[in-house]
């Protein structure tokens, strides 16, 4: 292993200078972050004060406070608290989704134009294969076989 060279006093002074410069560059960003955090903390304290004693808040903020809390207490998620009603609503949503999702694309067998789409895709595929040279065709087929894990060469049975 190569031996480490000893650092000279000049090297250390330069290193310390760069370290001081780096720290000095961080100060404005840190001051900005502290200001932002202080502002958010003040907002939280005001909100907390309003939750504990809404009468201390200005009228504009106090106006809808009671109705909002009532709504939150009644249905925090927007779903009913009755399990049977939630079950029916979920079944309704799933049925609506399946109805909407069915037949979105002609590649789906249930789509009315599926047969037409299939004929078109076969024509396009046939033209693509016809444009390939025999060597390119072999190369492509070998890649397809390799992807499926099939041997690329057929062995003759003796």
Angle at 103 between CA 100 and CA 108, to 5 degrees: 140
Total domains, the chain? 2
Q: What is the pLDDT of residues 9-54, one digit of tens each?
A: 888 888 888 888 888 888 888 999 998 998 888 888 877 776 666 5
Provide the domain limits for residue 126: 114-148
In a domain, 49, yes or no: yes
In a domain, 78, yes or no: no
In a domain, 4, yes or no: no
In a domain, 156, yes or no: no
In a domain, 65, yes or no: no
In a domain, 153, yes or no: no
The span from the CA of 62 to the CA of 40, in Å, is 20
Closest CA to 95 of 87, 83, 84, 106: 87
Q: What is the pLDDT of residues 80-138, one digit of tens each?
A: 778 898 899 899 988 888 777 665 788 888 778 889 999 999 999 999 999 999 999 99
In a domain, 135, yes or no: yes
Contact indicator for 50, 57 with CB cutoff of 8 Å: yes
In a domain, 92, yes or no: no
The span from the CA of 69 to the CA of 51, in Å, is 10
């Amino acid at each position: 292993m190569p031996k480490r060279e000893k650092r000279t006093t000049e090297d250390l002074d330069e290193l310390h200078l760069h370290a001081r410069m780096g720290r000095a560059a961080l100060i404005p960003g840190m001051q900005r972050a502290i200001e932002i955090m202080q502002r958010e903390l003040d907002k939280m304290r005001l909100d907390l004060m309003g939750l504990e004693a809404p009468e201390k808040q200005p009228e504009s903020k106090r106006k809808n406070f009671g109705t909002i809390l009532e709504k939150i207490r009644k249905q925090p998620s927007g779903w009913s608290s009755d399990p049977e009603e939630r079950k029916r609503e979920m079944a309704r949503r799933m049925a609506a989704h399946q109805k909407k999702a069915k037949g979105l694309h002609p590649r789906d067998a249930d789509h009315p134009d599926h047969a037409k789409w299939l004929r078109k895709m076969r024509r396009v595929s046939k033209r693509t294969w016809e444009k390939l040279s025999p060597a390119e065709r072999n190369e492509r087929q070998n890649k397809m076989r390799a992807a499926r894990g099939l041997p690329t060469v057929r062995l003759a049975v003796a």
